[in-house]
Structure 1
Amino acid sequence: MQVMKTVVTLGSKGQLTVPAAVREALHLERGDRFEISIDEAAGALTLTLIPGIEALRRRISGYAALTEPVTDVDACYHAHRRRGPGGRIDESSLQS
């Protein structure tokens, strides 16, 4: 993991400008939302990106692509009933 540090200045309206290199590295876009955490004792401020619905959709869409839709519920049920511990097929269930 690469650590990137940069210095920014608080503007007259209380805004910070995130440098282009940081925005590009994190794929930030206009309108992205952040949670601000403050550690007063350390004088530290942490920004955490709150993923939008599209980012969440992209993240979970890969999981949905790994499975095929169930078209025959009975066959799916029986196939899963035959599986024993560790996902292996229980040979004794094949005889019934």
Structure 2
Amino acid sequence: MAKNIKTIPTSEYDEVVRVIQEYHCNGCHKGNTSLLAKAFHKDATMYGFTMTGELLGGPISNLYDYINQHRDAPKINTRIDIIGITPTTAS
């Protein structure tokens, strides 16, 4: 019989949320791609919708280019959902 064993402590979840809030959310709010880049692996892939409803996807550099073009987003709403955490990754 399989056991459901929690291998990642809650403190790790809290740290992932802190990093996302500090770098991703604040980076988007301020239009600061240097700050934003600290939240992502250099080879990350992203997908999301622009303010005009267009799907933007592909390499993370697409997000940086979009932020650099449109600058800060002080009215952006963010929501942090952690789907999974391993000892070396979070998604």
Structure 1 length-normalised TM: 0.24
Q: State the structure with more CA Rg.
A: 1
User: Which structure carries more relative contact order (alpha carbon 8 Å, separation 6+)?
Assistant: 2
